[in-house]
Structure 1
Amino acid sequence: MRIHPVIGEGTKMDMGDALPGDEAGRLEEALATVVGDLDPELRSRYAFQVILVPGGGGPYVGLSDGKYWSGGTALWGGDEGSALLSVAEGLQECLMEVCRVVWPECPRHRFGLHARGSREGVVWACEGPRPHVVAPVGALPQPSRRLGGRS
């Protein structure tokens, strides 16, 4: 995976040095980890990348065709934990706002999970009636159920 600035709708240009190398690398590694948590159907349907927007916007998680959601917080890869947390949130936002898919879902309560920092690291947490940690980000049990989405 590489960092891509979006030039126009659906157009991208490779720009591996758009961010400091260590930050770009952390974001790319974090994206690979979070994508690994996706259920196989979503992995086969959507391809993700870290993108930059003209005028210095981003980086954000976007689709390989250049579509992205910039309504959330830009990604930050200052350290491994921050990169993993921000990419997990960014991928969730992209799935929800661009693809209309809620992911991941708590297997017990069917509520959407949230990426959270904890003493154990970055985790997928259910904030339902009985809040609990479901799994570390990168180790979500498969298949993860999802709500909504386009066919």
Structure 2
Amino acid sequence: MNDFDSRRAEPGEFPRLGAALDTVNRDFAAIFPDREPLVLMVWGGDEDIDEQVYVALSDGTSQGNGLSEPEDGDADPLVHVAEAAQETVVELLWQAWPVCPFHKLGTHPRPEGTTADWEYGESWGPGVVWWCRGYHGGDCHDLARVGELAGALPGKQRREARRRERKRGRTG
């Protein structure tokens, strides 16, 4: 994605996208405790190329479609930021994220309470979750709300993620 000038977004420059990324980064930290948080990068913005915002690894590399700061009344930006973060992680770190600890399958951002026959493009209600299709779609389930993945992890991993989150809260 570095075909033209890029820069890290300034704090507060994209307030709704930034707040959504803060939420997604809680889940990123639960699974990747030794990695720096994901960041918003801005590409373009000159007379030839429209400005686009991407969710990127801390080194500025990203994958996927650009985002724009939502207008009042638009869909929850958490949906789009979670999808963008997931695409960057999957494509650049080469691993599914997040993974359902019960089915060992990758999950996807979906509306809370999604059924197996839900199709992308249908309306989004309140609540964005990491959703697992389960085996053959018969045992699909909400794994966790986006931002609360640490609570859905198995025992020791969950305790370690919560301990790290508390420690970041004291030092961050």
Give TM-score scaled by structure 1 length. 0.72
Q: Which runs of 5+ in 2 are unaligned?
A: 113-124, 159-172
- Kindly provide the CA deviation profile for residues 78-114 of structure 1, in whole angstroms up to 9, marking residues without a partner as x: 2685211111111110101112121111111010010
Choose from 138, 147, 168 the match for 1:138: 147
In 2, the alpha carbon distance for the partners of 1:25 and 1:66 equals 19
User: Is the contact made by 1:47 and 1:63 (CA closer than 8 Å) also made in structure 2?
Assistant: yes
Q: What SS does the aligned partner of 1:67 have?
A: coil
Q: Is structure 2 residue 63 aligned with structure 1 residue 69?
A: yes
Q: Which runs of 5+ in 1 are unaligned?
A: 145-151
How many percent identity over aligned positions? 32
- Aligned-pair distance for 1:46? 3.7
In 2, the alpha carbon distance for the partners of 1:12 and 1:116 equals 30
Q: Is structure 2 residue 32 aligned with structure 1 residue 32?
A: no
In 1, the alpha carbon distance for the partners of 2:50 and 2:32 equals 29
Aligned positions, number? 131
- Kindly provide the CA deviation profile for residues 27-74 of structure 1, in whole angstroms up to 9, marking residues without a partner as x: 11111111101244614224311112222253110122221113xx32
Q: Any runs of at least 4 consecutive aligned residues in structure 1 with deviations exceeding 6 A, and if so which?
A: none
Q: What residue in structure 1 maps to residue 127 of structure 2? A: 121
Q: Is structure 2 residue 52 aligned with structure 1 residue 58?
A: yes
Change (3 A) 1:14 1:76: closer
Q: What residue in structure 1 maps to residue 163 of structure 2? A: none
In 2, the alpha carbon distance for the partners of 1:123 and 1:97 equals 21
In 2, the alpha carbon distance for the partners of 1:123 and 1:41 equals 16
Q: What residue in structure 2 maps to residue 99 of structure 1? A: 93
Bigger-Rg structure (1/2) = 2
Give TM-score scaled by structure 2 length. 0.64
